[in-house]
Amino acid sequence: MLKFYYAPKTCALAVHLALEHIGEPYEAIALDFANQAQRSAEYLSINPKGRVPALATEQGILTETPALLMYLCQRYPDAELAPLHDLFAVAKMQAFNSYLCSTVHVAHAHRVRGIRWADDPSAIEAMKKKVPQTMGDTMALIENGMLEGPWVMGEQYTVADMYLFTIAGWLEGDGVDLSKLPRVIAHRERMANDPKVQRVLALYS
């Protein structure tokens, strides 16, 4: 059985949603970030990065959200959470998920994890002040082209929707003007009405 390591208020939500949607047995293990559980020797032996998500499989440990999402799509193809029959479409989905991981998430992290990039308090504060603009700019690209509608990939619901939903949940805290993102917010609301999503969100409150 897969073992899934997560923490509330993190990007692990995207993978958790995929696992719940697939419906196969898995064990979810919550880490208490408030008490630095992600830095414990036990967890670092699982994921030396000290971050979530992490997925323990029969073959070993996997980390990084885009990799975990793609692994689940391929392991459980009957769930149809990726357009596996279309090589180009899969690459587009991967491009979208990579953008969320490498650009959008990093822009968000400048507000809450500035110490990763700077030691000077004034530099950290400057990064925080920039977040409403940088997050707004990255999400505008999604709003105005990358989100095909009604789902990220158009008519097919995929793990990209779970990942976008996860990051879209951070927008208010990042000071982004939601009035400029009506399609993103409509997508978020559509996702939030899914009973599977609601079951997982109850663990993240």
Domain ranges of the chain: 2-80+200-204, 87-196
How would CATH label the architecture of 87-196? Answer: Up-down Bundle (1.20)
pLDDT band at 204, cuts 50/70/90?
A: confident
**Cis status of the peptide bond prior to 132, with omega within 30 of 0:** no
pLDDT at 22: 98
Contacts of 127 (CB under 8 A, 6+ apart): 110, 111, 114, 117, 118
pLDDT band at 37, cuts 50/70/90?
A: confident
Q: What percent of the chain has pLDDT over 70?
A: 100
User: Residue 66, SS3?
Assistant: helix
State mean pLDDT over 186-195: 98
Q: In what order do the strands lie in the sheet with 26-30?
A: 26-30, 2-6, 54-57, 60-63
Mean pLDDT of the chain: 97
Q: Among 3.65.10.10, 3.40.30.10, 1.20.1250.20, 3.30.420.40, name the CATH number for the domain at 2-80+200-204.
A: 3.40.30.10
User: Residue 84, SS3?
Assistant: coil
pLDDT band at 180, cuts 50/70/90?
A: very high
Number of CB atoms found within 10 A of residue 195's CB: 7
Write out pLDDT tens, residues 93-133.
999 999 999 999 999 999 999 999 999 999 999 999 999 99
User: Residue 148, SS3?
Assistant: coil
d(CA 199, CA 148): 27
d(CA 109, CA 77): 32
pLDDT band at 47, cuts 50/70/90?
A: very high
Contacts of 25 (CB under 8 A, 6+ apart): 1, 2
Asked if the model's pLDDT at residue 205 lies above 90, the reply is no
pLDDT at 25: 96
Q: What angle do CA 129, 132, 136 make, to 5 degrees?
A: 150
Q: Where are the alpha helices (DSSP H) in the chain?
A: 12-22, 41-44, 65-75, 87-99, 105-112, 121-141, 159-168, 182-192, 195-204
pTM over 0.85: yes
State mean pLDDT over 163-178: 98
Which residue is it, tokens 């109850």? 202
d(CA 132, CA 156): 30
